[in-house]
Amino acid sequence: MYHQLWTERDPRVPAHRQLDDDGRPTVDDIARDLAARQGDSESRFAKLLTVEVRETGQVIGYCGLVIDDTAGAEPELAFELLAAFHGHGYATEAAEAAIGWARTCGVTRLQATVWDWNVASRRVLEKLGFHETGRIDRTLGTATSLITELDLRAS
């Protein structure tokens, strides 16, 4: 599923987040990378879960939180679904569950970073109550990435 997500990514996504001319990362590359991250000492890690269609159990993407343990950093909501499942409410439902989990863990504010051209994801974030902060993340290549926030104390 992860490999298929990489093959479907919009061509505007920065090159380091797309398959290269040799088809990398392969499924094995992704598995090795995930295994290597288990127990590493990086301050940034992810708690991502697969998103499944309830009726069939089919895995259609992932959703969860990326957590940066550095001082002052806020957890970040992340989600990505296979293209065939866009527009059916799955991202919104999965993100609502991740937000609920964050709330029960005592998180008071979440952020999400989204490319300015990604209207569908921006719409999901808006439905969830996120608002654009006016800040831009330029670490993801040349694409303009907007930072959005959700105050969990106010919702």
Tens digits of pLDDT across the chain (155 residues): 777 887 888 878 777 777 888 888 776 776 676 555 554 545 556 688 889 999 999 999 999 998 876 656 789 999 999 999 999 999 999 999 999 999 998 889 999 989 888 999 999 999 999 998 888 776 655 556 778 888 998 75
Query: What confidence score (pLDDT) does residue 60 get?
Result: 93
Query: What confidence score (pLDDT) does residue 82 get?
Result: 93
Instruction: Based on DSSP, count helices (H) and strands (E) in the chain, helices before strands.
Output: 4, 6
Q: What CATH number is associated with residue 111? A: 3.40.630.30
Residue 139 is part of which domain span? Answer: 2-151
Query: What confidence score (pLDDT) does residue 36 get?
Result: 59
Q: What share of residues in the chain are helix, strand, coil (percent, to 5)?
A: 30, 30, 40
Query: What confidence score (pLDDT) does residue 42 get?
Result: 53
Query: What confidence score (pLDDT) does residue 10 get?
Result: 81
Query: What confidence score (pLDDT) does residue 121 get?
Result: 94
Token representation of residue 119: 């209207």
- Residue among 75, 85, 73, 66 nearest 1 (CA): 85
Query: What confidence score (pLDDT) does residue 70 get?
Result: 67
Query: What confidence score (pLDDT) does residue 34 get?
Result: 57
Query: What confidence score (pLDDT) does residue 29 get?
Result: 77
Query: What confidence score (pLDDT) does residue 143 get?
Result: 58
- Residue among 49, 46, 100 nearest 68 (CA): 46
**Domain total of the chain:** 1
